[in-house]
Amino acid sequence: MRNVLVTGGCGFIGANFIRLLLASAKDWQVINLDKLTYAGNPENLDDVADDSRYTFVHGDICDRELVESLFIGQAIDTVVHFAAESHVDRSIEGPDAFMRTNIHGTFTLLEVAKNSWSVVGKRKNPYRFLHVSTDEVFGSLGPTGYFTEETAYDPRSPYSASKAASDHLARAYFHTYGLPLLITHCSNNYGPYQFPEKLIPLMINNCLQGKPLPVYGDGANVRDWLYVEDHCEAIVRVLDQGRPGESYAIGGHNEKKNTEIVELLCDMIDRKVGPLPSGNPRRSLITYVRDRPGHDRRYAIDAGKIERELGWTPRFTFAEGIERTVDWYLAHGDWLQGVLNGTYQQYYQKMYSDRQGAAETP
């Protein structure tokens, strides 16, 4: 029996993770602490809201009193820390919230965990603090090579710099106080419930609405795509079997150029719902726009350590994962409309009218 504090559980990966935990045979109590920013949606967990093993707490990870009261009141022995400002473009436009939540919020959780668990001098205890990091802390790869757990840090956006800072804090709490810390670095996730500001759901939504598909720069940037369910299974594996003080790189072995993804989505959606009302295929919507400042060229993960040491491998090929994802968005038009509220529309208009100016062609 574990009492797990999941932070950011109303976001994309957190909601998928909580659903997976509750569906598994584990008798774990899940306490979900989420501030409900624009990216957090309690409806993402409507189907488990009445489960007696699940409690939702609306609050901020920077609120130390609240975090302390949860640790004591709920006898928290495990933390899975997802809560973050997660979108690179937003970090370029307005980095403040990233520094507050990603750095100070992580510090608050570490400090409360350290004090509540009184771990100084003890290395063998059942506590676990899993800090969910990203491969972006390692910077940008050239055409060859992979990120591993040993890759030197080289963050290049305000988002990735804030995540790197939180990783360093987390490691310091392991080395200095013996906090039983685990870190995961995963590549780009995709799947159900992802907010439509990220590449794949944004393109699906624009395809369905017949809006331009804004590809940054020359469209040849590469990401290593990981189906969210595979990522969540990897996190459970790290919680169960990972060694405190270690980090684990998690990737899907699915390197794709952005243009490949966008073209694939256009063709798949044409096939599933028919072409645009004009009769044109959706590829006609592809529009090359001004590049993201500091745009990392390529990410790719060597997941050899978690495969060898913990026996995890991804179950979904990209073809399977993307088909499931598109089908999920097609079947959940109400969810999509719900999150595309006024605030999102304003963000979208500003972001993309700014980019239209100096479009590049591949």
Q: Which residues are catalytic?
A: 135-136, 159
Nearest distance from C-beta of residue 44 to ligand NAD, angstroms: 8
Q: CA 249 to CA 315: how far, in whole Å?
A: 16
Q: Which stretch binds ligand DAU (CB under 6 A): 20-28, 54-62, 216-224, 339-347?
A: 216-224
Q: CA 122 to CA 106: how far, in whole Å?
A: 22
Nearest distance from C-beta of residue 112 to ligand NAD, angstroms: 13
Residue 223 touches which of ligand NAD, ligand DAU, none (CB < 5 to 8 A by kind)?
ligand DAU
- Which one of 4, 5, 6, 11 is in contact with ligand NAD (CB under 6 A)? 11
- Which one of 4, 6, 12, 128 is in contact with ligand NAD (CB under 6 A)? 12
What count of other Cβ atoms lies within 10 Å of the Cβ of residue 34? 27
Q: CA 293 to CA 295: how far, in whole Å?
A: 5
Q: Is 314 within 8 Å of 230 (Cβ atoms)? A: yes
Token representation of residue 54: 């699940």
- Which one of 18, 34, 90, 263 is in contact with ligand NAD (CB under 6 A)? 34
Regarding 39 and contact with ligand NAD (CB under 6 A), the answer is: yes
The interface mask with ligand DAU, positions 80-99, x = CB under 6 A, is ------xxx-----------
Regarding 36 and contact with ligand NAD (CB under 6 A), the answer is: yes
Nearest distance from C-beta of residue 88 to ligand NAD, angstroms: 10
Q: How far is CA 91 from the centre of its chain?
A: 15
| Bridge partners for 213 per DSSP | 286
The interface mask with ligand NAD, positions 252-291, x = CB under 6 A, is ----------------------------------------
What count of other Cβ atoms lies within 10 Å of the Cβ of residue 143? 8
Taking the least distance from each CB to ligand NAD, the nearer of 86 and 151 is 86
Closest listed residue to residue 231, CA positions, set 8, 6, 5, 12: 12
Regarding 80 and contact with ligand NAD (CB under 6 A), the answer is: no
Q: Which stretch binds ligand NAD (CB under 6 A): 77-85, 106-114, 305-313, 315-323?
A: 77-85
Element (H, E) at 37: none
Query: Which amino acid does the sequence have at 185?
Result: H
| Bridge partners for 256 per DSSP | 223
- Which one of 163, 237, 298, 355 is in contact with ligand NAD (CB under 6 A)? 163
| Bridge partners for 247 per DSSP | 183
Q: Is 22 within 8 Å of 51 (Cβ atoms)? A: yes
Strands 213-216 and 226-227: unpaired
Residue 299 touches which of ligand NAD, ligand DAU, none (CB < 5 to 8 A by kind)?
ligand DAU
Regarding 197 and contact with ligand NAD (CB under 6 A), the answer is: no
Q: CA 201 to CA 231: how far, in whole Å?
A: 18
The interface mask with ligand DAU, positions 117-156, x = CB under 6 A, is -----------------xxx--------------------
What's the number of CA atoms in the CB half-sphere (13 Å) around residue 125? 17
Token representation of residue 38: 């624009």
The interface mask with ligand NAD, positions 130-149, x = CB under 6 A, is --x-x---------------
The interface mask with ligand DAU, positions 234-263, x = CB under 6 A, is ------------------------x-----
